[in-house]
Amino acid sequence: MAATTTDTALTEDVFVPLNFVLFCAIVAATVVGIPLYGYYYGFSLFDWILSFVMYIVTGMGITVGYHRLVSHQSFECPDWVKAAILVAGGWALQNSALKWGGDHIRHHAKTDQIEDPYNVTKGFWHSHCGWLFYNTPHRTEKYEIRLRRDPVVMWQHRYYWPIVVTGLLLPFALGVWHGGWQGGIGAFLLGGLFRMFMVLNSTFTINSLCHMIGTQPHGTQDSSRDSWLISFVSFGEGYHNFHHTYARDFRNGPKWYNFDPSKWIIYTLWMLGLAHNLRRNDPTVG
């Protein structure tokens, strides 16, 4: 009986209050606080441009760094380049590359099964964001083994929270430089919190909508789907059926006309001599 109880405990999800509080705070600030501030004080063009730039930088930190570089080893690069990309990914507040990668590797290994962290069979809200509020470390640790051998990944994991803080202080400091203290607050709200909310949800759409809507031209082995529309808000990650079929390919949108800025960044790094061993796994696309 004791063994059965232990086994049951090991398969139960554990509620994570910190994740829930952080998520609710970001949503509240974005939906209520930022519009109110904008109404009474307004935002400058600088604030909006900074928010857009930070959105691209941090979003690419997730798609290029956390996803294609760390989780799937789709290409290789010098440690200093990897560290820079993982710092940008850390600014997105999506956990360290170690934890993000472990969850994502588990997702590919157990897609649509009970151990899939963003299991879409549990419904849209679970796969979109509800899974964040629960932790199943015993299920993920074995998928982190390879990642734990990477010194850059472990460095980013150790300093994850200081990295998150710098991602919020940077827009504030730039705002103060541009427009004083009030400029700092506006830049912090748009370039920090609002940008963070948008990047979080651009990633969440891959976990949820790209397993619910779209086409399956590359295989029906799981619920993954291609959506060119979602690629426009997720830096090319919307070609999700292709990705699940050829997970180690550095491209998610394999055709030249597919909107996949993440593959263009990786290819540009290769042209500059800052990336190598770009992997292509689809035998039908050159």
**Using CA atoms in the order 249, 252, 258, 264, what is the torsion angle rounded to 10 degrees?**
-70
Q: What is the pLDDT of residue 240?
A: 97
Let me know: does 167 contact 192? Beta carbons within 8 Å. Answer: yes
What is the spatial distance between Cα 232 and Cα 155, in angstroms, rounded to a whole number? 32
The domains of the chain are located at: 16-136+147-271
Residue whose pair of structure tokens reads 């897609």 in the numeric block = 111
Count Cβ atoms below 10 Å from residue 139 Cβ, excluding itself: 19
Query: DSSP code of 93?
Result: -
pLDDT tens series, the chain, 286 aa: 333 333 334 456 788 888 889 889 999 999 999 999 999 999 999 999 999 999 999 999 999 999 999 999 999 999 999 999 999 999 999 999 999 999 999 999 999 998 899 999 999 999 999 898 887 666 678 899 999 999 999 999 999 999 999 999 999 999 999 999 999 999 999 999 999 999 999 999 999 999 999 999 999 999 999 999 999 999 999 999 999 999 999 999 999 999 999 999 999 999 999 999 999 986 665 4
Query: DSSP code of 225?
Result: -
What is the spatial distance between Cα 28 and Cα 14, in angstroms, rounded to a whole number? 24
Tell me phi and psi for residue 188, to 5 degrees: -65, -45
Paired strand residues for 276: 76
What is the spatial distance between Cα 173 and Cα 186, in angstroms, rounded to a whole number? 11
Residue whose pair of structure tokens reads 């990668």 in the numeric block = 101
Length of the chain: 286
* Tokens of residue 227, six digits: 């959506």
Beta pairing class for 14-15 and 134-135: antiparallel
What is the spatial distance between Cα 80 and Cα 77, in angstroms, rounded to a whole number? 8
Let me know: does 44 contact 181? Beta carbons within 8 Å. Answer: no
Let me know: does 223 contact 210? Beta carbons within 8 Å. Answer: no
Residue 128 carries which side chain, given as an amino acid letter? H
What is the spatial distance between Cα 285 and Cα 255, in angstroms, rounded to a whole number? 7
The per-residue pLDDT for range 143-163, each reduced to its tens digit, is 999 999 999 999 999 999 999
Q: What is the pLDDT of residue 135?
A: 75
Let me know: does 165 contact 96? Beta carbons within 8 Å. Answer: no
Let me know: does 131 contact 120? Beta carbons within 8 Å. Answer: no
Residue 4 carries which side chain, given as an amino acid letter? T
The per-residue pLDDT for range 203-255, each reduced to its tens digit, is 999 999 999 999 999 999 999 999 999 999 999 999 999 999 999 999 999 99
Q: What is the pLDDT of residue 142?
A: 87
What is the spatial distance between Cα 189 and Cα 193, in angstroms, rounded to a whole number? 5
